[in-house]
Amino acid sequence: MSDWSGGYVTDVLYTPGYYSPLNPLIMQLALTRAGVVAPTVGTACELGIGRGVSLNAHATASVTRWYGNDFIPAQLGFARSLAEQARSDARLFEEDFATFCARTDLPDFDFIALHGVWSWIDERNREVLVDFLRRRLRTGGVVYISYNTTPGWATFAPMREILREHGEVMSAPGQGTEARVREALGFAERLLAVQPGYAEVNPEVHDRLGMLQQQDSGYLAHEYFNRDWHPMPFSRVAEQLRPARLEFACSAHLPDHFDAINLTPAHRQLLGEIGEKHFRQTVRDFLVNQSFRRDHWVRGARELSSSERLEALRRIRVVLISPRQEIPLTVRGSLGEATMSEAIYAPVLEALADYRPHTLGELEHTLAGRVRQEQLEYAVVLLAGAGHLCPAQAPDTIEQALPGCRRLNATLLQRARSHHDTPWLASPVTGGAVMVPRFDQLFLLARERGERDPRQWAALAWQILEARQQRVVREGAPLEDEADNLAELHRQACHFEAVRLPVLQALQVA
């Protein structure tokens, strides 16, 4: 590991990812739901952008001016290539936090995002970030922070130390991180096989290690093999953010907003007796065994009155981003899976099934007599949290963002020829990205080339796969015969044309 890394893994790139809570529109929905004034976001910053999929999607699909940094050259290079192809206004810097945060040519920001950063840096860097938030966040601005937390990580933390230390002291000199990851996981498996006392008392260690063995090596390297890894309780994060004068507003994970799917009646009664909001969050994490938090913090938070909150919600435009027939009437919270009421959700989904943006006020009028306002609010926020619905931009903003989205998506469609790790495309309607799996991207690529028949889409997809000695996987097994591959691709192309393509066209992705 090179000296400039500061103990951070640099020889394996982090997996590309799109993180919807970084979309300012979703932030605004969360804050409004929580009764807090949400800012209009003209300037935004993401610290530690990784490969920059989220930043590029948000910079391209909106009129917000985005800034970001990453100190790993290959990651920043990938992000810059996307920005250049999209010809977006994003400004990206290959700098560590101390250098970037000291820049004098940065504006003040309405929204600053730190995803996957806080728990994986040392105390000095956290102080740098807090000082940056103090100096660069506008009054009324929002900070998004995600981090590993206790008590959810308390049990596995000793095993993580075993993995990291094995990689440091037991690997051959010059061995790459991916090999160190594999060898450390193998040792951990042998360690558990001899029935150590720790695992006897904490049997869930077996299950979590089993899940790790299914994960991408890039994710594992950055999650578990950095020098710094500091899960911490909410109360400690609040204490460290105090110099930046930030106040906790709400969870950025929308399902957390609903106690019924996360807390038992006894849990709710206990929390109701706690008046101090930071301690209440710490206790809540204990009740649900929280391991990962996603939170919004505000400088100078202003509360909305009940009437102001209702008016603000009614102005929010939302659009369905999943095919209506593929949306299950189930939702998952800390208590497990719960069934949505068909009497409430079926009318709401029916009203949104034209895949056009509607304000909550319009939906309330349409559904009058069938769904009450508070039920509509619950349904919309929960569907957004499940990834089936997203806030929508104003028509003029959609028009401005469309050309850049087309350029970025053309780049991502070409990438899908060889890679399956960027299953997202930008939508000017949502101001961010929507999930589009690789084969669907290949079908879109065929359409872009003028092919209009699903059989032709399947033929092009097979031509691309065969040239790379790849096969369609069905029920966990690769299909070897060409006719079987073509038949399965044709089946998927027909489903895409009938079910998914209309949604992507409405979202102006296709």
Q: Are 48 and 114 in contact (CB under 8 A)?
A: yes
**Distance between CA 263 and CA 282 in Å, rounded?**
14
Instruction: Give the dihedral of Cα atoms 11, 12, 16, 20; nearest 10 deg.
Output: -90
**Distance between CA 103 and CA 111 in Å, rounded?**
18
In this prediction, residue 5 carries a pLDDT of 75
In this prediction, residue 168 carries a pLDDT of 87
Q: Per the structure block, which two tokens stand in for 76? A: 């920043």
pTM: 0.95
Q: How many CA atoms lie within 13 A of 400 on its CB side?
A: 13
Please tell me whether residue 357 adopts helix, strand or coil conformation: coil
**Distance between CA 88 and CA 337 in Å, rounded?**
40
| Phi/psi at 482 (5° precision) | -60, -45
Bridge-based pairing of strands 137-148 and 109-114 is parallel
Q: Are 62 and 39 in contact (CB under 8 A)?
A: no
With 0-12 / 13-18 / 19 or more C-beta atoms within 10 angstroms meaning exposed / middle / buried, residue 55 is buried
pLDDT by residue for the chain (510 residues), tens only, comes to 345 777 788 888 888 999 999 999 999 999 999 999 999 999 999 999 999 999 999 999 999 999 999 999 999 999 999 999 999 999 999 999 999 999 999 999 999 999 999 999 999 999 999 999 999 999 999 999 999 999 999 999 999 999 999 988 998 777 888 899 999 999 999 999 999 999 999 999 999 999 999 888 888 998 899 999 999 999 999 999 999 999 999 999 999 999 999 999 999 999 999 999 999 999 999 999 999 999 999 999 999 999 999 999 999 999 999 999 999 999 999 999 999 999 999 999 999 999 999 999 999 999 999 999 999 999 999 999 999 999 999 999 999 999 999 999 999 999 999 999 999 999 999 999 999 999 999 999 999 999 999 999 999 999 999 999 999 999 999 999 999 999 999 999 999 999 999 999 999 999
In this prediction, residue 13 carries a pLDDT of 84
In this prediction, residue 11 carries a pLDDT of 85
Concatenate the DSSP letters of all residues of 162-206 into one string: HHHHHHHHTSPTT--HHHHHHHHHHHHHHHHHT--HHHHH-THHH
**Distance between CA 66 and CA 16 in Å, rounded?**
18
| Amino acid making up residue 432 | G
Q: Are 155 and 145 in contact (CB under 8 A)?
A: no
Non-local CB neighbours of 351 within 8 Å, separated by 6+ positions: 358, 363, 366, 367
In this prediction, residue 3 carries a pLDDT of 58
Q: How many CA atoms lie within 13 A of 432 on its CB side?
A: 22
Q: Are 313 and 243 in contact (CB under 8 A)?
A: no
**Distance between CA 45 and CA 58 in Å, rounded?**
11
**Backbone torsion region of residue 210, taken as left when φ is above 0, otherwise alpha when ψ lies between -120 and 50, otherwise beta:** alpha
Sketch the domain layout of the chain as residue ranges: 12-151+230-298, 157-224, 436-506
In CATH, the number for domain 12-151+230-298 is 3.40.50.150
